[in-house]
Structure 1
């Protein structure tokens, strides 16, 4: 529960820029922040946008220095980037890519005491706007959150770049963002603290709820548009919901069970090929079960997220109801001291969480059968979203 006298607060990035072709103006928005930028990107993303970034920096009279990202935001990779920043005397570091790249860059930028910028190549998480990073072990398991005293100085999202990426990335972002309202309302009910360092403000909670509404109205047509690699008003709305609304909403509205369950799932090796938002969606369904939410609310959520292309059964994330030891490991990690599951308005034991995780398999299968939606199958490697790009 909340500490007596805890303040209310909201945090956000210094500037948010979104639109088709926005990457061509990167130099314009970057120049006020520094004169010696270091661009960090993996080879896949750089192959897609390298020329555009180079042209944008040249037009602003900025030099181009690019460093390859190692793939996973580990403590070792962050320390390596710190050394690269120091060697180049960079005064601003720019992440071009997915959530993993951005988390590593934010961490390195903070340690070096310079400004940092995020340029997401996909709208698969709300990491671009946040003042925190998720750090993983070399094996890909969740290790810790790192918190920073400020958000990125600039977030620049080119929606045409987002539309060029596979639709699975956008769907993963929807999974991450849908959890925002579920967790924010739980945090508000519990009068618990948020990652912004205080009680949620009305604004933070309202943005979380707005994100939810935008996604229910626009996610399906936006995904259809992205499958054709085109940008429509629905795409613009979903990108903003996935990135800005969810970003401020989770950070200043509060996290609860869904993201803690995600973190627990990373302890099971079977889930390591899955995207952040895919695992978060399992957390959202499970949180609804733990809350004893109305059956119709859970049914609607399962049906909608199935249509989006998100997993809502253990089978789809490589687990089974009979994997007792693995599920206990997941639940133990999710309920560890300091985890956000303790923002729920009631206590949740390891046994209760294991039971809830097991229950979603049969329930979700029934919902999908009633709605004549595809039966759950284990996600093939080709269906998983690469952690390098994320």
Structure 2
């Protein structure tokens, strides 16, 4: 399907989005709106150790059947298949944890033909609300996108847990969310087909713009509060921006260079210890170089990233003194036909990406 083959516009969203303190205490009640035979709960290992009693309390007190399993660490085909095979009679999937745990849960629910509840324990990415799983190899390299036929049936944001998560996760979410509006603009300009199979709506662009504006207004204040484990009004706004607004904005408006560059950067082993949003942030700066964006945008982006603690150089995402060959390899992967670089409103070559990756670090010294 070419970019101009259809006039279809699509806006998609989860069935329900719930954001409140101590929301995890009502997990069994929410599950029972979807199933009765048993909840298959996939939980991040750290979260299982830290919040086990809270996760199971509502199931135990109401005699609601459940099976709790610990996530293996990578959203890979092997991990997904393992859980699909173990579903048994359970009639719904619940994912609790970070982005890879949640993407695995969505994929398991899809292949297992069950409804799914997603409960992020950090506002670290825009993955929770989307009808998409990002699949990696068992070694942590990007493998492929897995488009899903529907969004999660329910997304539950426990602001008490999220505000006590390490602040780095919230900061990563800021990086992921900041890309949303600028990738949406690129897709709108190129008339791109989004992952939903249609063009963006005015509503999706407006949500992406609201996401951006909330980040600029409340991002630094939210980071300050979460450093102390506090959930202030700014934290509430940023949780919504990082998760709901960015999720709806990216999925219904489209991805472009920033995420294609993120995906390609995973081929460099030094980047593996960095979070999704940290690499997306550097991808956004690289996209700005490719677009030759106005000075005001550069000042805003570099200034905001420094203020909240996002990377502005290659070294800050684990790429020390890269060779031209390394950067060209990233460029080749970023320009793959299977990624989203083609949504840019002009042709981008692997050589363009390699130059922009290096230039974005140099621009940091100016702004």
Report the TM-score when normalising by structure 2: 0.97
- Deviation per CA, 1:278-311, whole angstroms, max 9, x where unpaired? 0000110011111110123112211111111111
1:133 aligns with 2:133: yes
What is the match of residue 69 of structure 1?
71
What is the match of residue 387 of structure 1?
none
What is the match of residue 40 of structure 2?
38
What is the match of residue 50 of structure 2?
48
Report the TM-score when normalising by structure 1: 0.92
1:79 aligns with 2:81: yes
- Deviation per CA, 1:231-269, whole angstroms, max 9, x where unpaired? 111000000000000001000011010000000101111
State the 1:175 CA deviation.
0.3
What is the match of residue 10 of structure 2?
9
The CA distance in 2 between the partners of 1:100 and 1:129, in whole Å, is 13
What is the match of residue 370 of structure 1?
none
Structure 2 unpaired stretches of 5+? none
The CA distance in 1 between the partners of 2:312 and 2:77, in whole Å, is 31
SS at match of 1:333: helix
The CA distance in 1 between the partners of 2:290 and 2:263, in whole Å, is 17
- Summarize the Cα distance change of 1:298–1:321 in structure 2 as closer, same or farther, 3 Å threshold: farther
State the 1:322 CA deviation.
4.5
What is the match of residue 202 of structure 2?
202
Q: After alignment, is 319-328 or 62-71 more displaced?
A: 319-328
The CA distance in 2 between the partners of 1:70 and 1:4, in whole Å, is 41
State the 1:195 CA deviation.
1.1
- Summarize the Cα distance change of 1:359–1:64 in structure 2 as closer, same or farther, 3 Å threshold: same
Structure 1 unpaired stretches of 5+? 368-390
What is the match of residue 151 of structure 2?
151
The CA distance in 2 between the partners of 1:321 and 1:258, in whole Å, is 21
State the 1:22 CA deviation.
1.1
The CA distance in 2 between the partners of 1:235 and 1:20, in whole Å, is 12
The CA distance in 2 between the partners of 1:354 and 1:20, in whole Å, is 44
RMSD value, Cα: 1.1
State the 1:7 CA deviation.
0.5
Equivalenced residue count is: 365
State the 1:321 CA deviation.
5.2
Contact 1:123 1:169 in 2 (8 A): yes
The CA distance in 1 between the partners of 2:52 and 2:213, in whole Å, is 35
- Deviation per CA, 1:186-209, whole angstroms, max 9, x where unpaired? 101111111111000111111111
State the 1:60 CA deviation.
4.2
> Which residues of 2 match residues 1-390 of structure 1 at below 5 A?
2-35=3-36, 36-86=38-88, 89-320=89-320, 322-367=322-367
Contact 2:44 2:98 in 1 (8 A): no
- Deviation per CA, 1:136-163, whole angstroms, max 9, x where unpaired? 0111110000011100001000011011
The CA distance in 1 between the partners of 2:241 and 2:305, in whole Å, is 16
The CA distance in 2 between the partners of 1:355 and 1:299, in whole Å, is 20
The CA distance in 1 between the partners of 2:6 and 2:138, in whole Å, is 40
The CA distance in 1 between the partners of 2:329 and 2:365, in whole Å, is 24
The CA distance in 2 between the partners of 1:59 and 1:271, in whole Å, is 43
